Structure 1
Amino acid sequence: MLFNFRFLYSSGNANKIHMHLGRCVRYRFGDPTEICMQLKGRDFLTLQNYTADEIKYLLWVASDLKERVKHKKEYLPLLQGKSLTMIFEKRSTRTRLSTETGFALLGGHPCFLTTQDIHLGINESITDTARVLSSMTDAILARVYKQTDLELLAQEASIPVINGLSDSDHPIQILADYLTLQEHYGSLKGLTLSWIGDGNNVLNAIMMSASKFGMNLQVATPKGFEPDPTITKIAEEYSVKYGTKFFLTTDPLEAANGANVLITDTWISMGQEEEKQERLRAFQGYQITMQTGKVASPGWTFLHCLPRKPEEVDDEVFYSPQSLVFKEAENRKWTIMAVMVSLLTDYSPQLQRPVF
């Protein structure tokens, strides 16, 4: 299942047309073009494997489903008769609830499996597990420790595999972040994101996608907690390609300077509990406060993927009007629904394409 589709672009003089696996929907937006988008059957392991237009398409579908299901109260059984395997090596609130309720809301049947139910790669090889699951369900969402386990699962499965989180990437979280910012600002292009915290999987996902939307990224991490050098190189290349600004620093205020969005995450991820005291010492001075916001752009906002600890961001910011964290949490549902619908069906959004 590890493969990419080619996509085509051509220009014309008619209204913009979106074509998805032979189905077309017309909408007005910007210059007239025709886009061929094929996501059905794909894996969703990392945003690095998705083009700017493909990621925008997923956000468009998310906006469409949110409008139709939440606001218009439409019943859309797009996944009726389909089932989803949910493998969770790590506990979760938002990933489990958003996926399980979202898949069911669309008429499908989610099957939740923990390490007590399935021993991925231990009692049964990942290869054998992938083939068994492929024969019984229509897709797999896996929240695991190792990205390599996801890649092997996807290689051996004949159904789409979705990354629900790994130690090196968290693409479904970033879709929710971008949808939240899209709704708040009306457009993503030109925004400056400031990451203040650990060089972790969430930051990796931002680094592999922000430039594709024309967003700048300013990153502050303590010495020794920088992001993966391979991911940093990719981010630098994207910055040049898309004409955006990207830099790394150890100074939180330098990273926050002029930023539209201040972002942080847990300093101690699952599996890092033994490093707690060392990490708390290293991250002294990295808490986001209103003082941090004073050097940011007027109208700045705050994101955190949750769960949050007070040392990462104080209550004044976390519960302030600038904080978008609870909208961000809700949007995990609409964006994962968009991923599942796009990988499993021929659905085309009915809502006019948002401005990105």
Structure 2
Amino acid sequence: MTRHFLRDDDLSQAEQSAILDLAVEMKRDRWAAKPLAGPQSVAVIFDKSSTRTRVSFHVGISDLGGSPLIISTANSQLGGKETPTDTARVLERMVSAIVWRTYGQAGLEEMAASTTVPVVNALSDDFHPCQLLADLLTIREHRGALAGQTIAFVGDGASNMAHSYLLACATAGMHVRVGAPAEFAPAAQVVTDAEARAAETGGSVLVVTDPVAAVAGADVVVTDTWVSMGKEEEKQQRLEVFHGYRVDDELLAHAADDAVFMHCLPADRGYEVTAEVIDGPRSIIWDEAENRLHAQKALLAWLLAANTTAAASATTDAATTGN
């Protein structure tokens, strides 16, 4: 069975840790691994605008010896005349993996069900799992082992970032808290899934409406824009609802004395976070941004290796059965 990465809990705790270990090695010796030598091509499809995702995947695929094939859906048949299934069946004959930054999670799931090459969720409305691999790598660099750390997400709990923090951090054995207005709480099923994973890993999940309760004693404090792509018409309403959830020095003072601050960027300075925090001594956002490159390289290398091993095993099993 082909391994894909569509949401954070597609990986077990051990698999997540193995990818992060590989990312550390790749960051230490950036051009040593060439699993895409040939060069093999990777299709990187964009429905949404992007800076960090576009650059990190383009550079990362090149670092791995491959050729990044950047596709805009505005200039392709996908989303217009052609279904994700038909696109996947064409691409799998020409590329070694498919990376897609899109809107609906259902399209990713349809594409993954239709192809024999790995499909990677580079962002959807529901999850942003590649960002979380970079975030976990950054936390490891600055705070050591992930298990047992407490991380607080403050802001839009119904966002793809909040959902991914719940699933990825629970998978890592962390204590993850989300502080969000009641009308912007995380999806109930995502919370349930995160709680189930936390029960396996020794982590925990807490969803509250009080941002101070979420941040109190936390080792890591994170936030994201209050107005995501596609929600611009709701900006004024959201600014009113999220009043009090801004990460400023006063809120950050409730975290642990050595707590760090993270933001996936781009940031609306003065809205979800103050300039003093994002540019301050606790902020590790630039390491976080760089680590998109290393984490995604490790993810692609791991998926290619996992699928090669699975294919070899299936071939061996088939040969044995035939005999």
Task: Name the TM-score, length of structure 1 as normaliser.
Answer: 0.83
Distance 1:75 1:159 in 2: 23
- Name the counterpart of 1:76: 33
Distance 2:260 2:283 in 1: 6
1:337 aligns with 2:297: yes
- Name the counterpart of 1:26: none
Distance 2:197 2:64 in 1: 35
Q: Is the 8 A contact 2:9 2:171 kept in 1?
A: no
Q: Aligned with 1:285: secondary structure?
A: coil
1:140 aligns with 2:98: yes
**What are the equivalent positions in structure 2 for 1:234-249 lying under 5 Å apart?**
234-249=193-208
Deviates more, 1:125-134 or 1:160-169: 125-134
Deviation, 1:346, is 7.1
Q: Aligned with 1:209: secondary structure?
A: helix
Deviation, 1:75, is 4.3
1:114 aligns with 2:75: no
**What are the equivalent positions in structure 2 for 1:20-169 lying under 5 Å apart?**
41-69=2-30, 74-81=31-38, 82-169=40-127
Q: Aligned with 2:92: secondary structure?
A: helix
Amino acid at match of 1:60: D
Deviation, 1:196, is 0.3
1:192 aligns with 2:153: no
Distance 1:192 1:84 in 2: 36
Distance 1:131 1:95 in 2: 24
Aligned length: 304
Deviation, 1:219, is 1.1
Query: 1:63-83: CA deviations, max 9, x gaps?
Result: 1111111xxxx5433311210
Query: 1:91-138: CA deviations, max 9, x gaps?
Result: 111111000011011210010011222242321122111111111111
Distance 2:68 2:59 in 1: 8
Shift in CA distance, 226/346, structure 1 to aligned 2, threshold 3 Å: closer
Indicate the RMSD between aligned Cα atoms, in angstroms.
1.5
1:313 aligns with 2:273: yes
Deviation, 1:189, is 1.7
- Identify unmatched segments of 5+ residues in structure 1: 4-40, 348-356
Q: Aligned with 2:228: secondary structure?
A: coil
Distance 1:119 1:227 in 2: 33
Deviation, 1:209, is 2.4
**What are the equivalent positions in structure 2 for 1:162-311 lying under 5 Å apart?**
162-199=120-157, 200-310=159-269, 311=271
Distance 1:188 1:283 in 2: 29
Deviation, 1:298, is 1.1
Q: Is the 8 A contact 2:173 2:201 kept in 1?
A: yes
Amino acid at match of 2:135: D
- Name the counterpart of 1:350: none
Aligned sequence identity (%): 40
Higher helix share: 2
Deviation, 1:245, is 3.2
Amino acid at match of 2:116: S
Distance 1:124 1:346 in 2: 29
Distance 2:76 2:150 in 1: 42
Distance 2:18 2:301 in 1: 12
- Identify unmatched segments of 5+ residues in structure 2: 308-323
* Consecutive aligned runs of 4 or more in structure 1 exceeding 6 Å deviation: none
Distance 1:123 1:48 in 2: 32
Task: Name the TM-score, length of structure 2 as normaliser.
Answer: 0.91
Shift in CA distance, 75/233, structure 1 to aligned 2, threshold 3 Å: closer
Q: Aligned with 1:263: secondary structure?
A: strand
- Name the counterpart of 1:328: 288
